[in-house]
Chain A
Amino acid sequence: MNTGAKTIIRFENVTKAFGKVIAVDDVTLAIEEGEFFALLGPSGCGKTTLLRMLAGFETPSAGRILIDGQDISRTPPNRRPVNMVFQSYAVFPHMSVAENVGYGLRVDGVATAERARRVEEALALVKLEGYGARKPDQLSGGQRQRVAIARALVKRPRVLLLDEPLSALDAKLREQMRSELAQLQEKVGITFLFVTHDQDEALAMATRCAVMNRGLLQQVATPSDLYEYPNSRFVADFIGSVNLFEGRLVVDEPDHAVVAAPDLPTPVFLDHGVTGAHEATVWVALRPEKIELHKRGEGRPAPALEDTPKGHNQVAGVIRQIAYLGSESVYEVELEGGRMVRALRSNLARRDQEDFTWDEPVWLAWHACSPAILLS
């Protein structure tokens, strides 16, 4: 992430209403030059509408959109310094690959020789050298996408927009394209803005993400901050998997805090203060991989945690479900009182998954730095 870089795109209080439905609700967002920025959210959250407003296919009902400080809210799409890679790729079926890539230059009146050179360059960039004469129906889905990317990049846009760039590819190819897109962005140095509903995709590729829900911007942060420091239950739940416990803030000191959650037999201890009113209702978000599993039974005391006072951050339970995923196993543990908690354990050694079995009594424990406290 380039902190201190200059802002390239600015949404200022942008609202878009379709009749009575508000698709984008008062969004203010700045994207910096050179970022690989993700707009992330469930379907219908307004992320695509935001992207289409930037491309020029929708006009904001209120607010302004600026590119390089210029208001382009009312500029038609063919006069904007942005280019888009469509979800269906929208490769022109009656044109060859070279004609597709060169189309934007032809429209701009770039001379034939110059055009041919830049088309070659763009094709090389997406590793499609020698494919110029092919027709789109002779290409695979992944290759068609490369054509769409080359076609947009050849115009040297200020920002490249990608609408769900990986959703139409199969799982293996998707993984490969993730790193290729990131490499490509690094090479061309153009700001990329992509829309996705897939949180893995956003975390893996983006330098910064904006999470949207119901037209509202929920949180804008780096992928790791989104995951580790979500600002709401929505973000915590949407990004990755999480155990959420509702509770009351009973102790709130500058260097530690304690939350009493009815679902948990012992209180939750945190190694930092919470800026919330005492006795306020809060939610504790606990990621499954941050919960340790320990054997429980005769002669096995509760695990001691060096950073946590005794009687905190450890609960007894029984394993009810095990999902073996190869590299890791997911355990569904039932607490006294019936609450199910999900814990994740990496299978670091070959027979690690055999350590725990169904209906085995266990201790769940977590460090004081692990839980996130959410106020909304």
Chain B
Amino acid sequence: MNAPPAVRRTPPGPLDYLGRWPIRTWLILVVIYLYAPLITLMAFSFNDSRRNIVWRGFTLKYYAQTLADSDLITAFANSLTIAAVSTVVSVVLGALTALLLWRFRFPAKPALEGALALPIVVPEICMGVAMLVFFTQIVRWPTDLIWPLNLGAIIISHISFSFSFVAIVIRGRLASFNRELEEAAKDLGAGEWRIFRDILIPHMRPGLLAGALLAFTLSLDDFVITFFTSGPDTTTFPVKVYSMVRFSVTPEVNAASTLLIVLTVALTAVALRLQGADVARAETGEGL
């Protein structure tokens, strides 16, 4: 008796499911859900209508207007400056804090670790009010200084919350460090500073980069805390957009926001590219 030829359909592999229409539909819906608002915002920046409610035709004039709006440009420059300075300071401070907590044992260590998480858990509005009180009652930061020193209050408040994010990211990275690497370097003749430069910093590099990206974006889009610490001459981009929206959502707002989105995406791409180049360079054995 001949057995019938076995016709067995091979079950789909895990990635094959993406080819099935229900899954595909679901995927498309999720993507729409995530990006529809952003795409709408971008699309309407090209809308030739002052009221910006219905589509009237394509135009670039609002971009021209945005770029000509000196207040907006100033706010934008302020935002970038604040983000850049607070990123650099937060990364240095955060890295040092992470090293301190990782490397040493000292009496107040648990307290310090707890305090480090505070800026992350305290509601932003409270931080904002606290900063406001601090900079008006305790340390009055003069607002009539020349640019960019007049941004000092905002920069300080940004550092105060972003450095703890940086510290936590780098701390996590340090936890995976093999202490024998340090001992090996020491065994081969390296002193503490040399070990720090040659062994520890390279190990921390992904954490430093991730921390910097985090600090930069946190600073760039912070509204609440900045709102309380900015003055009439020191508005940042998000605060400026908010004040524009209070009158009406004009295509200028859309155009400005689109520019910001494009900039952020570009910066992220550059950062990822740099990281990739770093890996590639290391693989060919150059550098050092």
Residues of chain B within 8 A of A78, CB atoms compared? 186-191
The CA-CA distance from A57 to B283 in the complex, in Å, is 32
The CA-CA distance from A152 to B183 in the complex, in Å, is 13
Q: Given A94-B203, A103-B188, A86 and B183 touching (CB < 8 A)?
A: yes
Could you say which of A90, A108, A134, A155 has the most chain B C-beta atoms within 10 Å of its C-beta? A90
Residues of chain B within 8 A of A84, CB atoms compared? 183-184, 187
Residues of chain B within 8 A of A135, CB atoms compared? 282-283, 285
Distance between A1 CB and nearest chain B CB, rounded to angstroms: 27
Which one, A77, A88, A98, contacts B180 given CB within 8 A?
A: A88
Distance between B91 CB and nearest chain A CB, rounded to angstroms: 19
**Among the listed stretches B53-61, B67-75, B194-202, which one makes contact with chain A, having 4 or more residues with CB under 8 Å of it?**
B194-202
Q: Given A78-B186, A86-B184, A107 and B194 touching (CB < 8 A)?
A: yes
In the complex, A87 has a CB within 8 A of chain B: yes
Residues of chain B within 8 A of A152, CB atoms compared? 187-188
Q: How many residues of A contact B (CB 8 A)?
A: 33
Q: Is the CB of A90 within 8 A of B184?
A: yes
In the complex, B288 has a CB within 8 A of chain A: yes
Residues of chain B within 8 A of A87, CB atoms compared? 180
Which one, A77, A92, A96, A134, contacts B187 given CB within 8 A?
A: A77
Q: How many residues of B contact A (CB 8 A)?
A: 23
In the complex, B271 has a CB within 8 A of chain A: no
Distance between A288 CB and nearest chain B CB, rounded to angstroms: 39
Q: Is the CB of A77 within 8 A of B186?
A: yes
The CA-CA distance from A295 to B202 in the complex, in Å, is 70
Residues of chain B within 8 A of A56, CB atoms compared? 186-187
Q: Is the CB of B285 within 8 A of A133?
A: yes
Is the contact region of chain B dominated by helix, strand, or loop, or is it mixed? Answer: helix
Is the contact region of chain A dominated by helix, strand, or loop, or is it mixed? Answer: loop
In the complex, B129 has a CB within 8 A of chain A: no
The CA-CA distance from A78 to B194 in the complex, in Å, is 11
**Minimal Cβ-Cβ distance residue in A for B203:** A94
Task: Identify the B interface with A (CB < 8 A).
Answer: 178, 180-181, 183-191, 194, 198-199, 202-203, 205, 282-285, 288
Beyond A55-B183, A56-B187, A151-B184, 11 extra complex contacts between A and B, CB < 8 Å: A77-B186, A78-B188, A78-B189, A86-B183, A87-B180, A88-B178, A90-B180, A90-B184, A92-B185, A93-B203, A104-B188
A-B contact list, 7 entries, CB within 8 Å: A56-B186, A78-B187, A92-B185, A92-B198, A92-B202, A135-B285, A152-B188
Task: Identify the A interface with B (CB < 8 A).
Answer: 55-57, 76-79, 82-84, 86-88, 90, 92-96, 98-99, 103-104, 107-108, 132-135, 148, 151-152, 155
Closest 8 CB pairs of A and B: A104-B188, A90-B184, A96-B285, A90-B180, A133-B285, A94-B202, A107-B189, A86-B180
